[in-house]
Amino acid sequence: DLGTVRAEADDVTGVVVVHRGETIMVVANLGTTEQRWPTGDRRLALASDQAIQVDQGSAVLPVDTVAILTESR
């Protein structure tokens, strides 16, 4: 159901985030510097780079990386 999909982009940092309901969150860092982005209590499901870290309610993404996070169960 695409009715639950929403996207946001931060022109300053280059971070693009896509949410599918409250369950799935995709965070991409297309900027020029490492970025920290709030993730709530979601857990890392898939990462494009081993350097991506998720802790204390946020993800740290190096440049040109993507993280897929899911609801923590």
Q: Residues 21-71: pLDDT tens digits?
A: 989 999 999 999 999 999 999 999 999 999 999 999 999 999 999 999 999
What is each CA distance from 73 to 4, 18, 50, 65, 68, in whole angstroms?
A: 20, 20, 23, 25, 15
At 1 the pLDDT is: 67
At 69 the pLDDT is: 97
Neighbours of 67 (CB within 10 A): 25
Whole-model pTM above 0.85? Answer: yes
Gap between the Cα atoms of 14 and 32, Å rounded:
7
Q: How confident is the model at residue 72 (pLDDT cuts 50, 70, 90)?
A: confident
Encoding tokens for residue 20? 């599918």
